[in-house]
Amino acid sequence: MSRKYVYAFGGGKADGTAEMRNLLGGKGANIAEMSNLGIPVPAGFTITTEMCTVYSKLNRQYPPELDIQIREAMADVEKIMGARFGDQENPLLVSVRSGARVSMPGMMDTVLNIGLNEQTVKGLIANSGNERFCWDSYRRFVQMYGDVVLGLKPESKEEEAPFEVALTEKKKARGVELDSDLTADDLKELVDEFKALIRQGKGVEFPEDPWKQLWGSIEAVFGSWNGARAIKYRQLNRIPDDWGTAVNVQAMVYGNMGEGSGTGVAFTRDPATGQKIFYGEYLLNAQGEDVVSGIRTPQPVNKDTQSSPDQETLEEKMPEAYKILEDIYLKLESHYREMQDIEFTIQQGKLWMLQTRLGKRTAAAAVKIAVDMVNEGLIDKKTAVSRVEPAQLDQLLHPTFDPKAEKTVIAKGLPASPGAASGRVVFHSDDAEEWAAKGEKIILVRIETSPEDIGGMNEAQGILTAFGGMTSHAAVVARGMGKCCIAGCGALEINYKDKLFKVNNLTVKEGDWVSLDGSAGELMLGQVPTVVPDLSGDFTQIMEWADEIRKIGVRTNADTPHDSQVAVNFGAEGIGLTRTEHMFFEGDRIKAMREMILADDIEGRKRALTKLLPYQRDDFYGIFKVMDGRPVTIRLLDPPLHEFLPHEEKNQAEMAREMGVSVEKIKAKVGSLHELNPMLGHRGCRLGTTYPEISEMQARAIFEAACELKKKENIESHPEVMVPLVGTVGEFTDQKAVIDKAAEAVFSEYGFKIDYMVGTMIEIPRACIVADKIAETAEFFSFGTNDLTQMGFGYSRDDAGKFLHEYVVKGILPEDPFHVLDQEGIGELVQMGIQRGRSTRADLKVGICGEHGGEPQSVEFCHRVGMNYVSCSPYRVPVARLAAAHAVIKEQGKAELKDV
């Protein structure tokens, strides 16, 4: 018996269900589910994701059984829809659409109106009685087939597509502005002109055989899985390449059969704010791509989404169809218990549902919808937490425009995706990528965006379009990315050739600064100052639920009282890394530090260190006070000494004058400190071993600060002194002896003791191997995964950027290991260090303080291997808290599956 590759749906039944997402793709699974629910769905069938894999393995060929299964499924569609595919008198027309297991909006190809040719168009005219609609459908089909299947595209980014050029010339010749103003004869002429363009541009004839059209379209959609924009989207969203896409073949229904027909896209809740309103747009006498393409600005489906009272809503225009649509959206949201993104078509008054899927939303909307659905009894707290992606929270933590700042508003559009963004104007996606690679903040300005713009949209701070609505491609993709977006800013006159736009007698050129307020839809000249966002309400609630679920602690990396306070406000439970070297660069401190470096003997170094001690003590006092009894891990001096000295002659001369020494002495010291590989040189515990007086001063400052705070304000401190770059037991015990001696001296002076711990930063592979021996005296480990990754891979993190991108693109590495922890290699070293350390000291406290501490996948790994906490930058603390909760939920889900 041959394998089943085709699953039918329609007529109130389906072969598949919503649970078959991996096999049928999200679109196919949800269409099947709608059909099973009795919702009106045009009949069709889904070719599975497995076939996409088979197709690739067979070198773009199909197994013979696929043709048999497709023809059998098409016969069922013909029965349900009452028409026949390829029949000249009563033709059935179909669409071919992609459908991956996760939504990839606009990233793959679609072909509509398949089955039209010179004969079937006559049958369609006879049946519909609408000649203009039929030739318009045929014109659209030839244009789409020529573009998607045959690959007739513009030669450069500045040029319009050949079909669009011909369409524009036809409208000019007829003296009309809109496509809908063209007559049936005009459209019939365009069909012939489009076919001629294909013949001239591709050297092939447009296929008249409906079955050839169908197979060509299926092949194009399967092939689009490996198209540039789909690959880019998968890279950005970490979607595996081997998942493949399904292909959905579905009977056509038409929204462009006159004023009694239309098409639309809607969300069961506001995807920008999460507000519980039915939110959508529609167009009369149009097909689906007209709504999302941005070519025409659509109208709101109801009064709740009106931006002005003169807009005509679907609710007013077609009240009966709207009422059915309203009942269906409520049914779908209740069934899925999740916000849905739906597509519908009204053909001569009859409503058809084309798709339902999980709605893309902003972080603010995700949080509000999750909390509201718990309060409505639709979902539980754990589900609510799982529905807010940790990486999304970055959107909420970014600053917003200062309401008190002066603003020069030059235009208004639709508030398509909230947020505040300032950047320099660019007009093309590849330019956006180039400018961003140079460190520029940019705003991508387009007449309307298309899926080809995905790379530039990802790099942009914000997106601005002249055309399009709230459900256009720009709006939907921007919301999914968390990018600020203004769509439908009709006042813009964009000139791609000259790289400028005009608005209200003002000209803005490429490189000029503008600001976008995506919440208000305002376009402003120049850069507008920002303020830190106020987070409360639903955000606080979702974080409280996350804290109830997570098991691993979350600390912060903070070097100042201000950063410490920000982190505490975000829910940090302590400090996992205070970098003491940053404190030496401020004001007079750098002079004392340089005096210590220039000293010729230990006495000279001690005199300079005596000047530094009060500064260090005050810094630690401020941090301890803010942390109010929470643990604080302080790393002793880590970088090599040459980093504190100037290397340019001008700066060396200035330092010589300030220090009262000769320039030659400065140059000589810089020369003596020079190292061929400073990251592996005289730094960390090696400095402390060579110059124990540095470690002694820092330890004394830590303990004096803790004692002073206890004495003056009765606030407890829990310092954890961390020795960096340990690779041998002897290095650690040498430094621990210095630290303990300083503690005893300070406690003796104050007459009381402070609880403290001494541990080490595990960042050298050898330390992982001998962790059991180090743990005999070390009370805690903190994994410094930045250096551990550098030494484990043998990559210089300062230089690896030159090749790591290429490694990821070619699949040599799945991710940049400095961004996402390499669990296969570096993760094994971490696990070895934990296991060996705890074999000696069962209660060994273990954390991570590299950049990975706030990265969701890495946080999940830290939970899985049994760390006590992760530590990250202050603004990543909420991300880590939520990621830690997700790790528990995922682990519980796997356990439940195992039990089953």
What amino acid positions are annotated as catalytic residues? Answer: 473, 849
Structure-token match 């830190």, residue found: 532
Backbone angles phi, psi at 713, to 5 degrees: -125, 5
Residue 38 region, left (φ>0) first, then alpha (ψ -120 to 50), else beta?
left
Single-letter amino acid code for the residue at 72: E
State how far the Cα of 259 lies from the Cα of 284, in Å rounded to an integer.
6
Q: 784, 742, 741: which is closest to 617 by C-alpha?
A: 742
Q: 50, 56, 63, 128: which is closest to 89 by C-alpha?
A: 128
Q: What is the DSSP letter of 334?
A: H
CA gyration radius, the chain = 32
Q: Are strands 110-114 and 13-14 parallel, antiparallel or unpaired?
A: unpaired
Question: Is 52:59 a contact under the CB 8 Å cutoff?
Answer: no
Find all residues with CB under 8 Å of 58, minimum gap 6, and list them.
none
Single-letter amino acid code for the residue at 797: R
Question: Is 320:333 a contact under the CB 8 Å cutoff?
Answer: no
Structure tokens at 876: 């990543």
Find all residues with CB under 8 Å of 45, minimum gap 6, and list them.
6, 7, 8, 9, 70, 73, 74, 76, 77, 248, 249, 250
Find all residues with CB under 8 Å of 64, minimum gap 6, and list them.
none
Query: Taking the mean position of all CA atoms in its chain, how far away is CA 465?
Result: 21
Long-range contacts at 741-750 (CB < 8 A, ≥ 24 apart): 741/696, 742/696, 742/699, 742/700, 742/703, 743/699, 743/703, 745/700, 746/700, 746/703, 746/704, 746/707, 747/703, 747/707, 750/707, 750/711
* Residue 259, Cβ density class (10 Å: 0-12 exposed, 13-18 middle, ≥19 buried): exposed
Question: Is 288:343 a contact under the CB 8 Å cutoff?
Answer: yes
Question: Is 309:290 a contact under the CB 8 Å cutoff?
Answer: no
Structure tokens at 94: 């179909």
Structure-token match 């027909």, residue found: 261
State how far the Cα of 815 lies from the Cα of 813, in Å rounded to an integer.
6
Find all residues with CB under 8 Å of 142, minimum gap 6, and list them.
191, 194, 195, 198, 206
Question: Is 7:14 a contact under the CB 8 Å cutoff?
Answer: yes
State how far the Cα of 162 lies from the Cα of 172, in Å rounded to an integer.
15
Find all residues with CB under 8 Å of 613, minimum gap 6, and list them.
697, 700, 701, 704
Backbone angles phi, psi at 770, to 5 degrees: -105, 25
Query: Taking the mean position of all CA atoms in its chain, how far away is CA 588?
Result: 43
State how far the Cα of 218 lies from the Cα of 111, in Å rounded to an integer.
9
State how far the Cα of 367 lies from the Cα of 477, in Å rounded to an integer.
19
Q: Are strands 409-412 and 522-525 parallel, antiparallel or unpaired?
A: antiparallel
Question: Is 557:852 a contact under the CB 8 Å cutoff?
Answer: no
State how far the Cα of 418 lies from the Cα of 479, in Å rounded to an integer.
8
SS3 string, 254-305, reads CCCCCCCCEEEEEECCCCCCCCCCCEEEEEECCCHHHHHHCCCCCEECCHHH
* Residue 99, Cβ density class (10 Å: 0-12 exposed, 13-18 middle, ≥19 buried): buried
